[in-house]
Amino acid sequence: MDDHRPNHEGRSKMYKTNARDQNEMRRKRREDEVQIRKCRREERFERNRKMTTERSLSQDENSEILKKVIDGLHSMNDEVISESLTRLHDNVKYNGWTVQALAKGQILNKISDVYCNRMISNATRQLIAEIFSITSNLGIQANEACNPDETVIQSLVTNISQFSNDEDVLCDTFQSIACFIIRSLIYRNLALDNAIVPELLVVSTQPMSVLLHRSLMWLVSLFCEKLDKYSPDVDEVAPLLEIIASGITSTDAMVQTDAASACASLAEWSPIYEHMQEQKLCSMLVANLSNDKGNARPKVKCAISYIIQATGYFTEEMIEAGLLNVLKGFVNVSYMSQEVCFIISNICVEGEHTIDKLIESGVLKEVARVMDAAEYRARKEAAFVICHCCASSNRQHLEYVIELGMLTAFTDLLTCMDVSLVSYILDAITSLLQFGELYNQNNTNPVAEKLEEIGCREKLEFLVESQCFEIHAKAFTILERFYEDDGAIAAAEEVTDYQPRSTIDSTIEMLIRNSATTTSQPFTF
Protein backbone atom coordinates (compact mmCIF):
# COMPACT_ATOMS: atom_id res chain seq x y z
CA MET A 1 0.00 0.00 0.00
CA ASP A 2 2.81 2.40 0.91
CA ASP A 3 4.58 1.73 -2.36
CA HIS A 4 1.54 2.88 -4.35
CA ARG A 5 0.86 6.13 -2.38
CA PRO A 6 1.09 9.25 -4.52
CA ASN A 7 4.28 11.33 -4.13
CA HIS A 8 2.70 14.77 -3.58
CA GLU A 9 5.91 16.34 -2.35
CA GLY A 10 7.89 15.36 -5.45
CA ARG A 11 5.13 16.60 -7.73
CA SER A 12 5.07 19.93 -5.89
CA LYS A 13 8.80 20.37 -6.38
CA MET A 14 8.42 19.56 -10.08
CA TYR A 15 5.67 22.21 -10.48
CA LYS A 16 7.83 24.85 -8.76
CA THR A 17 10.74 24.01 -11.05
CA ASN A 18 8.53 24.34 -14.15
CA ALA A 19 7.13 27.69 -12.93
CA ARG A 20 10.63 29.07 -12.40
CA ASP A 21 11.63 27.91 -15.86
CA GLN A 22 8.55 29.52 -17.43
CA ASN A 23 9.17 32.82 -15.63
CA GLU A 24 12.76 32.72 -16.75
CA MET A 25 11.66 32.08 -20.32
CA ARG A 26 9.15 34.96 -20.19
CA ARG A 27 11.83 37.30 -18.81
CA LYS A 28 14.27 36.26 -21.49
CA ARG A 29 11.59 36.67 -24.18
CA ARG A 30 10.88 40.21 -22.95
CA GLU A 31 14.54 41.04 -23.01
CA ASP A 32 14.81 39.62 -26.50
CA GLU A 33 11.83 41.70 -27.64
CA VAL A 34 13.32 44.85 -26.14
CA GLN A 35 16.62 44.07 -27.84
CA ILE A 36 14.88 43.43 -31.14
CA ARG A 37 12.98 46.74 -30.92
CA LYS A 38 16.21 48.50 -30.03
CA CYS A 39 17.95 46.96 -33.00
CA ARG A 40 15.09 47.95 -35.25
CA ARG A 41 15.26 51.55 -34.02
CA GLU A 42 18.95 51.61 -34.68
CA GLU A 43 18.44 50.10 -38.10
CA ARG A 44 15.72 52.65 -38.88
CA PHE A 45 17.95 55.48 -37.69
CA GLU A 46 20.83 54.21 -39.80
CA ARG A 47 18.52 53.80 -42.78
CA ASN A 48 17.18 57.34 -42.39
CA ARG A 49 20.70 58.69 -42.00
CA LYS A 50 21.72 56.78 -45.08
CA MET A 51 18.69 58.13 -47.00
CA THR A 52 19.64 61.68 -45.98
CA THR A 53 23.20 61.10 -47.14
CA GLU A 54 22.00 59.59 -50.39
CA ARG A 55 19.63 62.53 -51.02
CA SER A 56 22.43 65.01 -50.51
CA LEU A 57 24.63 63.03 -52.82
CA SER A 58 22.01 62.38 -55.52
CA GLN A 59 20.27 65.75 -55.67
CA ASP A 60 20.46 65.81 -59.45
CA GLU A 61 18.73 62.45 -59.62
CA ASN A 62 15.93 63.65 -57.35
CA SER A 63 15.61 66.81 -59.42
CA GLU A 64 15.17 64.66 -62.50
CA ILE A 65 12.47 62.60 -60.77
CA LEU A 66 10.77 65.80 -59.64
CA LYS A 67 10.80 67.10 -63.20
CA LYS A 68 9.19 63.87 -64.42
CA VAL A 69 6.50 64.22 -61.75
CA ILE A 70 5.78 67.81 -62.85
CA ASP A 71 5.59 66.78 -66.52
CA GLY A 72 3.23 63.97 -65.59
CA LEU A 73 0.91 66.31 -63.68
CA HIS A 74 0.68 68.50 -66.79
CA SER A 75 -0.42 65.56 -68.89
CA MET A 76 -3.99 65.17 -70.11
CA ASN A 77 -3.72 61.39 -69.76
CA ASP A 78 -5.35 60.09 -66.58
CA GLU A 79 -3.00 57.12 -66.32
CA VAL A 80 0.07 59.34 -66.55
CA ILE A 81 -1.34 61.67 -63.88
CA SER A 82 -2.10 58.74 -61.59
CA GLU A 83 1.40 57.34 -62.08
CA SER A 84 2.94 60.74 -61.31
CA LEU A 85 0.87 61.12 -58.15
CA THR A 86 1.88 57.65 -56.97
CA ARG A 87 5.55 58.41 -57.59
CA LEU A 88 5.19 61.72 -55.79
CA HIS A 89 3.45 60.05 -52.84
CA ASP A 90 6.16 57.40 -52.52
CA ASN A 91 8.97 59.93 -52.61
CA VAL A 92 7.25 62.16 -50.07
CA LYS A 93 6.50 59.25 -47.76
CA TYR A 94 9.66 57.15 -48.07
CA ASN A 95 12.38 59.40 -49.52
CA GLY A 96 11.65 62.44 -47.40
CA TRP A 97 10.78 64.97 -50.08
CA THR A 98 9.92 68.16 -48.21
CA VAL A 99 7.28 70.77 -48.86
CA GLN A 100 10.07 73.28 -49.60
CA ALA A 101 11.28 71.11 -52.48
CA LEU A 102 7.75 70.72 -53.83
CA ALA A 103 7.02 74.43 -53.53
CA LYS A 104 10.00 75.36 -55.70
CA GLY A 105 8.31 73.49 -58.55
CA GLN A 106 4.85 74.79 -57.56
CA ILE A 107 3.73 71.19 -57.20
CA LEU A 108 1.18 71.97 -54.46
CA ASN A 109 -0.67 74.22 -56.88
CA LYS A 110 -0.45 71.61 -59.64
CA ILE A 111 -1.88 68.76 -57.59
CA SER A 112 -4.56 71.16 -56.27
CA ASP A 113 -5.53 71.78 -59.88
CA VAL A 114 -5.73 68.03 -60.47
CA TYR A 115 -7.84 67.60 -57.32
CA CYS A 116 -10.27 70.38 -58.24
CA ASN A 117 -10.53 70.26 -62.01
CA ARG A 118 -9.93 66.68 -63.12
CA MET A 119 -12.26 63.70 -63.02
CA ILE A 120 -10.39 61.53 -60.56
CA SER A 121 -11.40 58.62 -58.34
CA ASN A 122 -11.91 58.82 -54.61
CA ALA A 123 -8.77 56.72 -54.12
CA THR A 124 -6.76 59.35 -56.01
CA ARG A 125 -8.27 62.07 -53.84
CA GLN A 126 -7.23 60.14 -50.75
CA LEU A 127 -3.74 59.81 -52.21
CA ILE A 128 -3.47 63.56 -52.78
CA ALA A 129 -4.83 64.23 -49.29
CA GLU A 130 -2.13 62.02 -47.80
CA ILE A 131 0.56 63.85 -49.81
CA PHE A 132 -0.64 67.15 -48.36
CA SER A 133 -0.83 65.81 -44.82
CA ILE A 134 2.68 64.33 -44.94
CA THR A 135 4.31 67.45 -46.39
CA SER A 136 2.65 69.69 -43.81
CA ASN A 137 3.68 67.35 -40.94
CA LEU A 138 0.03 67.17 -40.00
CA GLY A 139 0.27 63.50 -39.11
CA ILE A 140 -3.11 62.55 -40.59
CA GLN A 141 -3.13 59.21 -42.33
CA ALA A 142 -5.67 59.54 -45.10
CA ASN A 143 -8.06 56.60 -45.34
CA GLU A 144 -11.57 55.99 -46.54
CA ALA A 145 -13.00 57.23 -43.22
CA CYS A 146 -11.30 60.64 -43.60
CA ASN A 147 -12.79 63.47 -45.57
CA PRO A 148 -10.07 64.33 -48.13
CA ASP A 149 -11.42 67.87 -48.56
CA GLU A 150 -10.95 68.66 -44.87
CA THR A 151 -7.53 66.99 -44.83
CA VAL A 152 -6.28 69.00 -47.82
CA ILE A 153 -7.51 72.38 -46.54
CA GLN A 154 -6.26 71.73 -43.02
CA SER A 155 -2.85 70.76 -44.40
CA LEU A 156 -2.61 73.92 -46.52
CA VAL A 157 -3.55 76.15 -43.59
CA THR A 158 -0.95 74.34 -41.49
CA ASN A 159 1.65 75.17 -44.14
CA ILE A 160 0.98 78.89 -43.62
CA SER A 161 1.56 78.47 -39.89
CA GLN A 162 4.65 76.26 -40.04
CA PHE A 163 6.40 77.94 -42.97
CA SER A 164 5.44 81.58 -42.45
CA ASN A 165 8.98 82.71 -43.33
CA ASP A 166 9.37 80.62 -46.49
CA GLU A 167 8.03 82.65 -49.42
CA ASP A 168 8.16 79.74 -51.89
CA VAL A 169 5.94 77.62 -49.65
CA LEU A 170 3.59 80.53 -48.91
CA CYS A 171 3.16 81.50 -52.57
CA ASP A 172 2.49 77.91 -53.62
CA THR A 173 0.12 77.41 -50.69
CA PHE A 174 -1.82 80.63 -51.42
CA GLN A 175 -2.16 79.62 -55.07
CA SER A 176 -3.39 76.18 -54.02
CA ILE A 177 -6.02 77.54 -51.64
CA ALA A 178 -7.14 79.98 -54.34
CA CYS A 179 -7.59 77.05 -56.70
CA PHE A 180 -9.93 75.37 -54.21
CA ILE A 181 -11.94 78.53 -53.50
CA ILE A 182 -12.44 79.17 -57.22
CA ARG A 183 -13.75 75.62 -57.50
CA SER A 184 -16.30 75.99 -54.70
CA LEU A 185 -17.20 78.38 -51.88
CA ILE A 186 -17.40 75.36 -49.59
CA TYR A 187 -13.61 75.28 -49.52
CA ARG A 188 -13.54 78.94 -48.49
CA ASN A 189 -15.68 78.16 -45.46
CA LEU A 190 -13.51 75.13 -44.67
CA ALA A 191 -10.46 77.40 -44.66
CA LEU A 192 -12.24 79.86 -42.38
CA ASP A 193 -13.17 77.02 -40.05
CA ASN A 194 -9.47 76.11 -39.87
CA ALA A 195 -8.62 79.65 -38.70
CA ILE A 196 -6.83 80.79 -41.82
CA VAL A 197 -7.53 84.50 -41.23
CA PRO A 198 -5.18 84.89 -38.22
CA GLU A 199 -2.45 83.12 -40.20
CA LEU A 200 -2.91 85.51 -43.13
CA LEU A 201 -2.70 88.47 -40.77
CA VAL A 202 0.62 87.21 -39.41
CA VAL A 203 2.01 86.91 -42.93
CA SER A 204 0.75 90.40 -43.87
CA THR A 205 2.61 92.06 -40.99
CA GLN A 206 6.04 90.81 -42.00
CA PRO A 207 8.23 92.03 -44.89
CA MET A 208 7.33 90.30 -48.14
CA SER A 209 8.24 90.35 -51.79
CA VAL A 210 5.96 91.79 -54.45
CA LEU A 211 5.14 88.28 -55.67
CA LEU A 212 4.05 87.12 -52.22
CA HIS A 213 2.04 90.32 -51.69
CA ARG A 214 0.24 89.72 -54.99
CA SER A 215 -0.53 86.11 -54.06
CA LEU A 216 -1.81 87.15 -50.65
CA MET A 217 -4.03 89.94 -51.98
CA TRP A 218 -5.47 87.75 -54.71
CA LEU A 219 -6.37 85.11 -52.12
CA VAL A 220 -7.99 87.74 -49.88
CA SER A 221 -10.02 89.08 -52.80
CA LEU A 222 -11.35 85.56 -53.42
CA PHE A 223 -12.39 85.31 -49.77
CA CYS A 224 -14.49 88.47 -50.28
CA GLU A 225 -16.47 87.18 -53.26
CA LYS A 226 -20.10 86.09 -52.92
CA LEU A 227 -20.22 86.48 -49.17
CA ASP A 228 -23.99 86.79 -49.46
CA LYS A 229 -23.97 83.08 -50.33
CA TYR A 230 -22.85 80.56 -47.70
CA SER A 231 -22.27 83.57 -45.47
CA PRO A 232 -19.67 83.15 -42.72
CA ASP A 233 -19.77 85.15 -39.52
CA VAL A 234 -18.82 88.76 -40.15
CA ASP A 235 -16.24 88.65 -37.35
CA GLU A 236 -14.37 85.94 -39.25
CA VAL A 237 -14.00 88.11 -42.34
CA ALA A 238 -13.63 91.59 -40.81
CA PRO A 239 -9.92 91.18 -39.89
CA LEU A 240 -9.14 90.79 -43.60
CA LEU A 241 -9.99 94.48 -44.07
CA GLU A 242 -6.59 95.35 -42.61
CA ILE A 243 -4.91 93.45 -45.44
CA ILE A 244 -7.20 95.11 -48.00
CA ALA A 245 -6.38 98.56 -46.60
CA SER A 246 -2.67 97.89 -47.01
CA GLY A 247 -3.32 96.68 -50.56
CA ILE A 248 -5.15 99.88 -51.55
CA THR A 249 -2.17 101.98 -50.49
CA SER A 250 0.35 99.69 -52.20
CA THR A 251 2.46 100.97 -55.08
CA ASP A 252 1.96 97.75 -57.06
CA ALA A 253 -0.83 97.91 -59.64
CA MET A 254 -1.83 94.25 -59.33
CA VAL A 255 -2.08 94.47 -55.55
CA GLN A 256 -4.17 97.66 -55.84
CA THR A 257 -6.41 96.03 -58.42
CA ASP A 258 -7.17 92.99 -56.25
CA ALA A 259 -7.73 95.21 -53.21
CA ALA A 260 -10.22 97.32 -55.19
CA SER A 261 -11.95 94.14 -56.41
CA ALA A 262 -12.25 92.97 -52.81
CA CYS A 263 -13.95 96.26 -51.85
CA ALA A 264 -16.38 95.93 -54.76
CA SER A 265 -17.26 92.37 -53.71
CA LEU A 266 -17.75 93.41 -50.09
CA ALA A 267 -20.30 96.04 -51.22
CA GLU A 268 -22.72 93.15 -51.90
CA TRP A 269 -22.63 92.04 -48.25
CA SER A 270 -24.30 94.53 -45.92
CA PRO A 271 -23.08 93.00 -42.60
CA ILE A 272 -19.55 94.19 -43.39
CA TYR A 273 -20.50 97.83 -44.09
CA GLU A 274 -19.86 99.11 -40.59
CA HIS A 275 -16.42 97.50 -40.47
CA MET A 276 -15.56 98.92 -43.90
CA GLN A 277 -16.55 102.37 -42.73
CA GLU A 278 -14.36 102.04 -39.64
CA GLN A 279 -11.39 101.21 -41.86
CA LYS A 280 -12.25 104.11 -44.25
CA LEU A 281 -11.74 101.80 -47.22
CA CYS A 282 -13.90 103.85 -49.59
CA SER A 283 -12.08 107.04 -48.64
CA MET A 284 -8.83 105.26 -49.40
CA LEU A 285 -10.18 104.23 -52.81
CA VAL A 286 -11.00 107.86 -53.61
CA ALA A 287 -7.50 108.92 -52.59
CA ASN A 288 -6.09 106.11 -54.72
CA LEU A 289 -8.18 107.26 -57.71
CA SER A 290 -6.80 110.76 -57.30
CA ASN A 291 -3.15 109.78 -56.86
CA ASP A 292 -3.17 106.96 -59.43
CA LYS A 293 -0.44 104.99 -57.68
CA GLY A 294 0.59 101.99 -59.74
CA ASN A 295 -1.69 102.83 -62.68
CA ALA A 296 -4.58 100.84 -61.20
CA ARG A 297 -7.01 103.72 -61.80
CA PRO A 298 -9.41 101.88 -64.19
CA LYS A 299 -10.08 99.08 -61.70
CA VAL A 300 -10.35 101.49 -58.77
CA LYS A 301 -12.84 103.59 -60.74
CA CYS A 302 -14.88 100.49 -61.55
CA ALA A 303 -14.85 99.49 -57.87
CA ILE A 304 -16.12 102.92 -56.80
CA SER A 305 -18.81 102.77 -59.49
CA TYR A 306 -19.90 99.31 -58.37
CA ILE A 307 -20.02 100.29 -54.70
CA ILE A 308 -22.15 103.39 -55.39
CA GLN A 309 -24.46 101.36 -57.62
CA ALA A 310 -24.80 98.58 -55.03
CA THR A 311 -25.44 100.75 -51.98
CA GLY A 312 -25.75 104.35 -50.88
CA TYR A 313 -24.12 103.55 -47.53
CA PHE A 314 -20.71 104.92 -48.53
CA THR A 315 -21.72 107.73 -50.90
CA GLU A 316 -21.49 110.45 -48.27
CA GLU A 317 -18.11 109.14 -47.08
CA MET A 318 -16.69 109.21 -50.60
CA ILE A 319 -18.06 112.70 -51.29
CA GLU A 320 -16.45 113.94 -48.07
CA ALA A 321 -13.21 112.31 -49.22
CA GLY A 322 -13.24 114.48 -52.36
CA LEU A 323 -14.83 112.16 -54.91
CA LEU A 324 -16.70 114.92 -56.75
CA ASN A 325 -13.57 116.99 -57.29
CA VAL A 326 -11.80 113.91 -58.66
CA LEU A 327 -14.70 113.07 -60.99
CA LYS A 328 -14.89 116.67 -62.17
CA GLY A 329 -11.44 116.30 -63.69
CA PHE A 330 -12.41 113.09 -65.49
CA VAL A 331 -15.85 113.97 -66.89
CA ASN A 332 -14.55 115.30 -70.19
CA VAL A 333 -11.73 112.79 -70.64
CA SER A 334 -12.91 111.00 -73.77
CA TYR A 335 -12.22 107.41 -72.69
CA MET A 336 -13.62 107.99 -69.18
CA SER A 337 -16.70 110.18 -69.83
CA GLN A 338 -19.23 107.38 -70.05
CA GLU A 339 -18.18 105.62 -66.84
CA VAL A 340 -17.77 108.86 -64.89
CA CYS A 341 -21.21 110.10 -65.94
CA PHE A 342 -22.62 106.74 -64.91
CA ILE A 343 -21.14 107.20 -61.43
CA ILE A 344 -22.54 110.75 -61.22
CA SER A 345 -26.01 109.57 -62.27
CA ASN A 346 -26.01 107.04 -59.42
CA ILE A 347 -24.93 109.76 -57.01
CA CYS A 348 -27.86 111.93 -58.16
CA VAL A 349 -30.46 109.38 -57.11
CA GLU A 350 -29.23 109.51 -53.50
CA GLY A 351 -31.33 112.62 -52.90
CA GLU A 352 -31.52 116.37 -53.23
CA HIS A 353 -28.60 116.96 -50.85
CA THR A 354 -26.26 115.14 -53.22
CA ILE A 355 -27.55 117.22 -56.17
CA ASP A 356 -26.73 120.33 -54.13
CA LYS A 357 -23.17 119.08 -53.76
CA LEU A 358 -22.94 118.28 -57.47
CA ILE A 359 -23.96 121.86 -58.25
CA GLU A 360 -21.58 123.35 -55.69
CA SER A 361 -18.64 121.32 -56.98
CA GLY A 362 -19.26 122.35 -60.61
CA VAL A 363 -19.62 118.74 -61.75
CA LEU A 364 -22.96 119.37 -63.51
CA LYS A 365 -21.38 122.09 -65.67
CA GLU A 366 -18.86 119.54 -66.90
CA VAL A 367 -21.68 117.07 -67.54
CA ALA A 368 -23.43 119.73 -69.65
CA ARG A 369 -20.28 119.97 -71.77
CA VAL A 370 -20.46 116.21 -72.36
CA MET A 371 -23.98 116.69 -73.76
CA ASP A 372 -22.63 119.00 -76.46
CA ALA A 373 -19.37 117.36 -77.46
CA ALA A 374 -19.06 113.67 -76.51
CA GLU A 375 -19.99 110.54 -78.43
CA TYR A 376 -23.40 108.93 -78.03
CA ARG A 377 -22.75 106.54 -75.13
CA ALA A 378 -21.26 109.28 -72.97
CA ARG A 379 -24.08 111.67 -73.93
CA LYS A 380 -26.59 109.01 -72.97
CA GLU A 381 -25.15 108.68 -69.43
CA ALA A 382 -24.94 112.49 -69.16
CA ALA A 383 -28.62 112.69 -70.15
CA PHE A 384 -29.50 110.34 -67.29
CA VAL A 385 -27.71 112.72 -64.92
CA ILE A 386 -29.86 115.62 -66.15
CA CYS A 387 -33.01 113.49 -65.90
CA HIS A 388 -32.28 112.60 -62.27
CA CYS A 389 -31.70 116.28 -61.48
CA CYS A 390 -35.02 117.18 -63.09
CA ALA A 391 -36.77 114.59 -60.92
CA SER A 392 -35.93 116.76 -57.89
CA SER A 393 -38.72 118.71 -56.23
CA ASN A 394 -36.31 121.56 -55.55
CA ARG A 395 -37.05 124.50 -57.86
CA GLN A 396 -33.45 125.69 -57.68
CA HIS A 397 -32.29 122.43 -59.23
CA LEU A 398 -34.68 122.82 -62.18
CA GLU A 399 -33.65 126.43 -62.65
CA TYR A 400 -30.00 125.39 -62.64
CA VAL A 401 -30.62 122.76 -65.33
CA ILE A 402 -32.22 125.37 -67.59
CA GLU A 403 -29.33 127.77 -67.00
CA LEU A 404 -26.81 125.12 -68.06
CA GLY A 405 -27.77 125.87 -71.67
CA MET A 406 -27.70 122.32 -72.97
CA LEU A 407 -31.44 121.81 -73.63
CA THR A 408 -30.88 121.56 -77.39
CA ALA A 409 -28.45 118.67 -77.06
CA PHE A 410 -30.63 117.15 -74.34
CA THR A 411 -33.84 117.14 -76.40
CA ASP A 412 -32.01 115.93 -79.51
CA LEU A 413 -31.79 112.56 -77.79
CA LEU A 414 -35.58 112.25 -78.07
CA THR A 415 -35.01 110.80 -81.53
CA CYS A 416 -32.63 108.06 -80.40
CA MET A 417 -33.76 104.43 -80.45
CA ASP A 418 -33.42 103.84 -76.68
CA VAL A 419 -36.96 103.59 -75.29
CA SER A 420 -35.82 103.81 -71.66
CA LEU A 421 -33.78 106.97 -72.24
CA VAL A 422 -36.54 108.66 -74.25
CA SER A 423 -39.02 107.91 -71.48
CA TYR A 424 -36.72 109.47 -68.87
CA ILE A 425 -36.20 112.56 -71.04
CA LEU A 426 -39.97 113.00 -71.49
CA ASP A 427 -40.37 112.90 -67.71
CA ALA A 428 -37.61 115.49 -67.35
CA ILE A 429 -39.27 117.75 -69.96
CA THR A 430 -42.55 117.45 -68.08
CA SER A 431 -40.84 118.55 -64.85
CA LEU A 432 -39.21 121.52 -66.62
CA LEU A 433 -42.50 122.59 -68.19
CA GLN A 434 -44.25 122.37 -64.83
CA PHE A 435 -41.50 124.56 -63.41
CA GLY A 436 -42.08 127.01 -66.28
CA GLU A 437 -45.76 127.31 -65.33
CA LEU A 438 -44.66 128.94 -62.07
CA TYR A 439 -43.32 131.85 -64.13
CA ASN A 440 -46.28 132.06 -66.49
CA GLN A 441 -46.48 135.56 -67.95
CA ASN A 442 -49.31 136.67 -70.25
CA ASN A 443 -50.49 133.07 -70.42
CA THR A 444 -47.13 131.96 -71.83
CA ASN A 445 -44.81 129.36 -70.39
CA PRO A 446 -41.19 130.57 -70.91
CA VAL A 447 -39.84 127.02 -70.76
CA ALA A 448 -42.40 125.85 -73.32
CA GLU A 449 -41.43 128.69 -75.63
CA LYS A 450 -37.74 127.89 -75.23
CA LEU A 451 -38.31 124.23 -76.01
CA GLU A 452 -40.39 125.08 -79.05
CA GLU A 453 -37.65 127.39 -80.34
CA ILE A 454 -35.08 124.58 -80.24
CA GLY A 455 -37.36 122.13 -82.07
CA CYS A 456 -38.57 120.07 -79.13
CA ARG A 457 -42.22 120.38 -80.09
CA GLU A 458 -41.64 118.79 -83.48
CA LYS A 459 -39.89 115.88 -81.82
CA LEU A 460 -42.81 115.45 -79.44
CA GLU A 461 -45.24 115.36 -82.38
CA PHE A 462 -43.02 112.73 -83.96
CA LEU A 463 -43.08 110.64 -80.77
CA VAL A 464 -46.86 110.70 -80.68
CA GLU A 465 -46.63 108.24 -83.57
CA SER A 466 -44.50 105.84 -81.53
CA GLN A 467 -45.47 102.18 -81.43
CA CYS A 468 -44.53 102.18 -77.73
CA PHE A 469 -47.64 103.04 -75.74
CA GLU A 470 -45.64 104.63 -72.89
CA ILE A 471 -43.77 106.98 -75.23
CA HIS A 472 -46.94 107.80 -77.17
CA ALA A 473 -48.89 108.59 -73.98
CA LYS A 474 -46.18 110.79 -72.46
CA ALA A 475 -45.57 112.77 -75.64
CA PHE A 476 -49.30 113.24 -76.24
CA THR A 477 -49.85 114.40 -72.63
CA ILE A 478 -47.09 117.01 -72.91
CA LEU A 479 -48.49 118.41 -76.17
CA GLU A 480 -52.03 118.44 -74.88
CA ARG A 481 -51.16 120.17 -71.61
CA PHE A 482 -48.43 122.64 -72.50
CA TYR A 483 -49.05 123.42 -76.19
CA GLU A 484 -52.66 124.46 -76.57
CA ASP A 485 -52.80 124.31 -80.34
CA ASP A 486 -55.93 122.29 -81.06
CA GLY A 487 -55.17 122.12 -84.77
CA ALA A 488 -51.77 120.60 -84.17
CA ILE A 489 -53.14 118.10 -81.68
CA ALA A 490 -55.94 117.15 -84.03
CA ALA A 491 -53.48 116.74 -86.88
CA ALA A 492 -51.26 114.61 -84.71
CA GLU A 493 -54.20 112.45 -83.76
CA GLU A 494 -55.27 112.14 -87.39
CA VAL A 495 -51.77 111.15 -88.51
CA THR A 496 -51.11 108.69 -85.74
CA ASP A 497 -54.60 107.17 -85.52
CA TYR A 498 -53.22 105.32 -82.51
CA GLN A 499 -55.35 102.58 -81.02
CA PRO A 500 -54.37 101.02 -77.66
CA ARG A 501 -53.59 97.35 -77.82
CA SER A 502 -56.21 95.34 -76.01
CA THR A 503 -55.35 91.73 -76.69
CA ILE A 504 -52.36 89.55 -75.87
CA ASP A 505 -51.77 88.67 -79.53
CA SER A 506 -51.66 92.29 -80.67
CA THR A 507 -49.34 93.21 -77.78
CA ILE A 508 -46.88 90.47 -78.76
CA GLU A 509 -47.05 91.62 -82.38
CA MET A 510 -46.26 95.20 -81.29
CA LEU A 511 -43.28 94.08 -79.18
CA ILE A 512 -41.83 92.01 -82.01
CA ARG A 513 -42.18 94.87 -84.48
CA ASN A 514 -40.68 97.35 -82.04
CA SER A 515 -37.76 95.00 -81.31
CA ALA A 516 -37.06 94.50 -85.01
CA THR A 517 -37.11 98.25 -85.60
CA THR A 518 -34.74 98.84 -82.68
CA THR A 519 -32.17 96.29 -83.84
CA SER A 520 -32.28 97.07 -87.56
CA GLN A 521 -32.08 100.87 -87.54
CA PRO A 522 -28.97 102.82 -86.49
CA PHE A 523 -29.01 105.43 -83.76
CA THR A 524 -30.11 108.85 -84.95
CA PHE A 525 -29.69 112.14 -83.22
- Write out pLDDT tens, residues 425-456: 999 999 999 999 888 777 788 999 999 999 99
List b or e across 232-263, with b for residues whose CB sees 16 or more CB atoms inside 10 angstroms.
beeebbbebbebbbbbbebebbbbbbbbbbbb
C-alpha triplet 405, 410, 412: angle, nearest 5°:
125
Which of 4-8, 129-133, 339-343 has the least mean pLDDT? 4-8
> Quick one: pLDDT band at residue 512, thresholds 50, 70, 90?
very low
Write the burial class of residue 432 (CB in 10 Å: 0-12 exposed, 13-18 middle, 19+ buried): buried
> Quick one: pLDDT band at residue 140, thresholds 50, 70, 90?
low
Portions of the chain given CATH number 1.25.10.10: 405-484
Looking at the predicted structure, is the pLDDT value of residue 218 above 80? Answer: yes
pLDDT at 80: 84
Q: What is the pTM (predicted TM-score) of this model?
A: 0.74
- Mind giving me the DSSP string for 347-390? HHTT-HHHHHHHHHHTHHHHHHHHHHHS-HHHHHHHHHHHHHHH
Compute φ and ψ for 180, nearest 5 degrees.
-70, -40
pLDDT in tens, 384-425: 999 999 998 889 999 999 999 999 999 999 999 899 999 999
pLDDT at 18: 53
Write the burial class of residue 192 (CB in 10 Å: 0-12 exposed, 13-18 middle, 19+ buried): middle
In the chain, the amino acid numbered 496 is T
In the chain, the amino acid numbered 512 is I
Looking at the predicted structure, is the pLDDT value of residue 383 above 70? Answer: yes
User: Which among 295, 281, 289, 280 is positioned nearest to 326, based on CA atoms?
Assistant: 289
- State which of 223-237, 337-351, 505-519 shows the largest mean pLDDT: 337-351
pLDDT at 145: 54
Sign of CA dihedral 358, 362, 365, 369: negative
pLDDT at 201: 95
What does the DSSP 8-state code read for residue 227?
T
pLDDT at 20: 58
C-alpha triplet 47, 48, 49: angle, nearest 5°:
90
> Quick one: pLDDT band at residue 67, thresholds 50, 70, 90?
confident
What does the DSSP 8-state code read for residue 299?
H
What does the DSSP 8-state code read for residue 394?
-
Q: Indicate the SS3 state at residue 90.
A: helix
Which of 178-182, 231-235, 487-491 has the least mean pLDDT? 487-491
Q: Is 125:142 a contact under the CB 8 Å cutoff?
A: no
Q: Which CATH architecture has domain 405-484?
A: Alpha Horseshoe (1.25)
Cα 316 from Cα 379, distance rounded (Å): 26
Cα 492 from Cα 500, distance rounded (Å): 16
Cα 367 from Cα 369, distance rounded (Å): 5
User: What is the overall mean pLDDT for the chain?
Assistant: 81
Q: Is 265:220 a contact under the CB 8 Å cutoff?
A: no
What Rg do the C-alpha atoms of the chain give, in angstroms?
38
**Mean pLDDT score, 86-102:** 85
- A 10 A CB-CB count for 465 gives 14
- State which of 5-14, 315-324, 329-338 shows the largest mean pLDDT: 315-324
Cα 321 from Cα 433, distance rounded (Å): 36
Write the burial class of residue 67 (CB in 10 Å: 0-12 exposed, 13-18 middle, 19+ buried): exposed
- A 10 A CB-CB count for 53 gives 10
More confident residue, 516 or 104: 104
C-alpha triplet 177, 178, 183: angle, nearest 5°:
100
Q: Indicate the SS3 state at residue 441.
A: strand
